[in-house]
Chains A and B, each alone.
Chain A
Amino acid sequence: MNHDHDHDHDHDHQSDDKVHAYYQILGQALKELLIEKGVVTAAEIRSAMERRDSITPVNGAKVVARAWVDPEYRTRLLADANAAVAEFGIEMPTTHLVAVENSPEVHNVVVCTLCSCYPRDLLGLPPAWYKSKAYRSRVVHAPRAVLQEFGTDVPDSVEVRVHDSTADMRYLVIPMRPSGTENWDEDALRALVTRDTMIGVATVDALSSSKFPIPIAD
């Protein structure tokens, strides 16, 4: 069964199933009525689904890898992220994008405590855990413990900054470029940058920066 695991399990699963079935039917009913009334077209819905499917974290990885190899781009990205990602054809007209950079002193992590706001144009749709009550409630007050649950140990000497997104403002974490990659070209670097490193729950560590990175299909 596919659900978010973010509701309380104090009721039985049979009633859960009825609720899930009801909302699937309601969703289908709304879609058909909206098409019949000419409010939306089936083609528009299909096109929106295709567009969503086409956006992957590769978009964000392109931005990060460029910032790693091009100091001037990095400066532009930190100053005006909307304009900097637009250089890659990624337009975010209705939201303010802020790029935050990890360093030996600061580790950044992103959440949306109120909902699920997320830089979808850079990373695709958010993972289930990003939308979960557990992540949303806890990362703001116990970020180091939450990061440990993702296998990410941030030393006490490093400041952790948690950024709470809104409908108007989204964040992109620029992870630290791993040492040993000084001679790597942009394409190779891009393959190291994963979704979770751009949310800030993971780092691009020595392990993943082996000489044999798994290329991300572009």
Chain B
Amino acid sequence: MRGPHDLGGLDFGPIDPEEHALTYWEKQIDAIRAVIGSKKIVSTHENRRTIEQLGHDIYDTLNYYERWTAALQRQMVDKGILTQDEIDQKIVAVRKRLAETGELEMPQ
């Protein structure tokens, strides 16, 4: 079966050649991935495989660095580096802090 990443030969229509500057957040995820890779915690191949196994629902909904973020979460939990509980708690804390400081534009 064709995986969600296996796009060669399909037709997703015209190309939008517009340049999209990366946000700070996207650059930061890219950098975390680079550091995790250079420390040989998660190789490029592992990252590729995790992303390919996100499944259609997730892969098709998320944009590029969101997929990387979803993959990083799974890798850290799978390797026992972080627990899902810790991540859930930290998400609550970050959400609260960002809502207060307004650093993130929160959806209504």
Contact = CB atoms under 8 A, between A and B. Distances in A.
Interface stretch (A67-75, A76-84, A138-146, A186-194): A138-146
B106 interface: yes
A148 to B, nearest CB: 10
A30 B19 contact: no
A87 interface: no
A164 B8 contact: yes
Contact of A8 (B5, B52, B60, B76): B60
Interface string A146-180: 10011000000000000010010000000000000
Contacts of A32: 90, 94
A175 B98 CA distance: 47
A72 to B, nearest CB: 33
A111 B83 CA distance: 37
Interface stretch (A38-46, A96-104, A206-214): A38-46
A139 B35 CA distance: 32
Contacts of B19: 127-128
Say which size band chain A's interface belongs to.
35 or more
25 contacts: A4-B63, A6-B63, A19-B66, A23-B65, A25-B104, A27-B25, A27-B28, A27-B32, A29-B90, A31-B28, A33-B87, A45-B28, A52-B30, A94-B44, A115-B48, A127-B20, A132-B16, A134-B13, A134-B15, A137-B11, A140-B9, A141-B9, A150-B15, A164-B8, A167-B48
Given A37-B82, A49-B30, 17 more contacts: A2-B23, A5-B20, A8-B60, A11-B61, A17-B107, A21-B107, A26-B70, A27-B28, A30-B73, A34-B32, A40-B32, A40-B36, A48-B30, A48-B35, A131-B64, A137-B7, A149-B14
